[in-house]
């Protein structure tokens, strides 16, 4: 039996979010912080992170979830496991938490239609739409700036309708210009600050009423 994808329009506020991570989880932290702000704070996010799933046991974000009292789950790919089989297990696990929305916050695995046909998902990417898809986007943008090819990069949040890499209808995008004297570290720091704000704003823009509960 095919289960239908839950519709954001049908969901009660606060939205139930499942966040998928692979690393340090600073963007997960931004979501958790926004959810825990008081409802009369304009930066409040009317949502609840109901589970965090990592494909890596050593992801620092798992401890952030634990500190926030959110179930922190690890689902590693088994040796030789086919992508669709991993995605079937991930679909089952995530489905237990009945999310309104799945947020890919540094989840460094491509998802197949096995997963994406079931859940609405959005992805954060540390570059502007159509640029530097895949791994090490910040490093590649920095190298392109040093080579005189670009003078800005940026951040985007997009829907994930299919198996395209860091590609899909854009929800929010913001450029981050390079400045004279930038190092990779100084540029990355500015870019991450934009990510933390833009991701939360993008989730908020998908809230059905925009009115906190
Ligand atoms: C973020 O910079 C995010 O944009 C990037 O992974 C990092 C996760 O950081 N995602 C991608 O590169 C997707 N292609 P975090 O674990 O500290 O949130």
Instruction: Summarize pLDDT for 138-163 with one digit per residue, the tens.
Output: 999 999 999 999 999 999 999 999 88
> Which residue is it, tokens 């938490």?
97
Mean pLDDT of 32-40: 96
User: What span, in angstroms and rounded, lies between the C-alpha atoms of 28 and 76?
Assistant: 19
Where along the chain do its domains lie?
Answer: 15-204
Distance 189 CA to ligand 1 centre (A): 12
State which ligand 1 atom lies nearest to the alpha carbon of 137. Answer: 12
pLDDT for res 13: 53
The CATH homologous superfamily of the domain defined by 15-204 = Formyl transferase, N-terminal domain (3.40.50.170)
pLDDT for res 163: 87
State which ligand 1 atom lies nearest to the alpha carbon of 134. Answer: 14
Residues framing ligand 1 (Cβ under 6 A): 21, 23-28, 61, 105-106, 124-126, 137, 166, 195
Catalytic residue among 44, 125, 159, 196: 125
User: What span, in angstroms and rounded, lies between the C-alpha atoms of 127 and 195?
Assistant: 10
User: What span, in angstroms and rounded, lies between the C-alpha atoms of 29 and 196?
Assistant: 8
State which ligand 1 atom lies nearest to the alpha carbon of 21. Answer: 16
pLDDT tier, 54 (very low <50, low <70, confident <90, very high otherwise): very high
Distance of alpha carbon 144 from the chain centroid: 25
Percent residues over pLDDT 90 in the chain: 88
Q: Return the residue whose CA atom lies nearest to atom 7 of ligand 1.
A: 106
Which pTM value belongs to this model?
0.92
196 is catalytic: no
């Amino acid at each position: 039996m095919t289960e239908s994808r839950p519709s954001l329009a049908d969901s009660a506020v606060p939205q139930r979010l499942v966040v998928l991570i692979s690393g340090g989880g600073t963007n997960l932290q931004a979501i958790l912080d926004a959810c825990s702000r008081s409802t009369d704070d304009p930066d409040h996010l009317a949502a609840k992170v109901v589970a965090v799933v990592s494909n890596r046991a050593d992801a620092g974000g798992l401890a952030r979830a634990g500190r926030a009292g959110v179930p922190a789950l690890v689902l590693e790919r088994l040796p030789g496991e086919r992508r669709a089989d991993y995605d079937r297990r991930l679909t089952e696990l995530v489905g237990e938490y009945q999310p309104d929305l799945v947020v890919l916050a540094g989840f460094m695995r491509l998802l197949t239609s096995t997963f994406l046909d079931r859940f609405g998902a959005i992805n954060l990417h540390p570059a502007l739409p159509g640029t530097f898809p895949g791994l090490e986007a910040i490093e590649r943008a920095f190298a392109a700036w040093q080579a005189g090819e670009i003078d800005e990069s940026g951040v985007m949040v997009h829907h994930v309708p299919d198996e395209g890499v860091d590609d899909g209808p854009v929800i929010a995008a913001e450029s981050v210009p390079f400045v004279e004297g930038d190092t990779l570290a100084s540029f990355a720091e500015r870019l991450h600050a934009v990510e933390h704000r833009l991701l939360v704003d993008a989730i908020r823009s998908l809230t059905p009423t925009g009115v906190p509960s």
